[in-house]
Amino acid sequence: MLFTKLFLAHLLGDFLFQPTRWVIHKEANKITSKYLYLHIVVHFVVSMVLLWDLSYWKLALIITVSHYFIDLGKLYVTPLLKNKSIPFFIDQLLHLVVLYACAYHENIMEHTIFLIENIDWPLVTALVFVSFPTAIIMGKLLEGMSQKIELDHKSLPNAGKYIGIIERLFVLIFIILGRWDAIGLLIAAKSVFRFNDLKQSNNRKLTEYILIGTLLSFGIAIGTGIIYTGLG
């Protein structure tokens, strides 16, 4: 419960109670930005309100001070990197590590070992397999067909690959949850979105390619889900 409250405080402070203009001002002024310090104060106040126990003030203070230094580091590192999303995710990961360490500081080693020992490795393997490995396998299997298709429209880079990864993850999760009906809804939803594009292109080869790719993607995800549930 302690970690949950601290995590909720983090979500509220970092996303709900931090307007975009604060973020822009912090990025422009960095350590001299007044909103950096106001943001830190908001985090401390929200944490204390959710904990509702004055005895936790030292814990909230540690989290607040660490939040300041992590945010400050992100402000100076972000301009140096081409991919601006990397510092954001590293920043969030470091915040979560601090929250975890504070919430379980009394038995952090025992709790960490417990979590590691109870990892569902078959599930982790299944999730990893239906992501990028399957995307690469499908690319090899459909390579001959893709070379025969002429596209007359622009698309986002690697959009198809990421769409396939997301849909396979959904299918795997639905199978684990025993919701086979949801897979049908997912196929129907994808068909609706694709229908207009295929209708306008009037390209039979493209239609066949998408159909084969979709069936192959769903088939691999379904097979992986069946194997995982069978092992369980």
d(CA 217, CA 215): 5
The ranges assigned to domains in the chain are 2-117, 121-231
In contact, 4 and 96? CB cutoff 8 Å: no
pLDDT, position 204: 66
Write the CA distances from 149 to 146, 153, 159, integer angstroms. Answer: 5, 12, 17
- What is the helix (H) or strand (E) element at residue 199, kind and residue range? helix 180-201
Question: Tens-of-pLDDT digits for all 232 residues of the chain?
Answer: 899 999 999 999 999 999 999 999 999 999 999 999 999 999 999 999 999 999 999 999 999 999 999 999 999 999 999 898 999 999 999 999 999 999 999 899 999 999 999 999 999 999 999 999 999 999 898 888 766 666 555 667 788 889 899 999 999 999 999 999 899 888 888 777 666 655 555 556 777 777 888 889 999 999 999 999 987 6
Biggest CA–CA distance in the chain, Å, is 69
- Residue 194 burial (CB count, 10 A): 14
The closest alpha carbon to 24, from 12, 35, 37, 32, belongs to 35
pLDDT, position 188: 82
d(CA 145, CA 205): 9
In contact, 167 and 217? CB cutoff 8 Å: yes
> Over the range 198-228, which residues count as b (16 or more CB within 10 Å of their CB) and which as e?
eeeeebeebeebbeebbebbbebbbebbeeb
pLDDT, position 112: 93
d(CA 120, CA 112): 15
pLDDT, position 189: 80
C-alpha 77, offset from chain centre: 22
